[in-house]
Amino acid sequence: MSRNCQITGKKALVGNNVSHSKRRTKRRFTPNLFRKKLYLPEEDRWITLIVSAAGLRTINKNGLKNSIKEAQAKGLITKNI
């Protein structure tokens, strides 16, 4: 499983470490991901999502049910939650 946020779709980016002498070596910028258990009151059950910090703020703003529905429409969540 790749390290992607299931709500926002954030994933690792590739860039360069640049030293003082301007030598460049490859590096990865990984997203700030958490494995969170969230409660769905409509279905009276807990679900586990891999969510970034920005994804948690999105869930707090829009609500869990709406955030999951939008993520499924974008194809970020493939299985039926």
pLDDT at 73 over 70: yes
- Residue 62 sits in a domain whose CATH number is 2.30.170.40
- What domain range is 19 assigned to? 13-74
The token duo for 73 is 């429409």
Structural domain tally of the chain?
Answer: 1
> Does residue 3 fall inside a structural domain?
no
Q: What is the pLDDT of residues 27-70, one digit of tens each?
A: 999 999 999 999 999 999 999 999 999 999 999 999 999 999 99
The C-alpha atoms of residue 20 and residue 42 are separated, in whole angstroms, by 55
- 79 falls within a domain: no
In the block, which residue shows the tokens 């360069």?
16
pLDDT of 4-25, one tens digit each?
999 999 999 999 999 999 999 9
Write down the pLDDT at residue 79. 77
Is position 2 within any domain?
Answer: no
- Calpha distance 66→38 (Å, rounded): 14
Check whether 1 has a pLDDT greater than 60: no
Angle 27-56-13 (CA atoms, 0-180°, nearest 5)? 15
pTM for the model: 0.84
Residue 5 in any domain: the answer is no
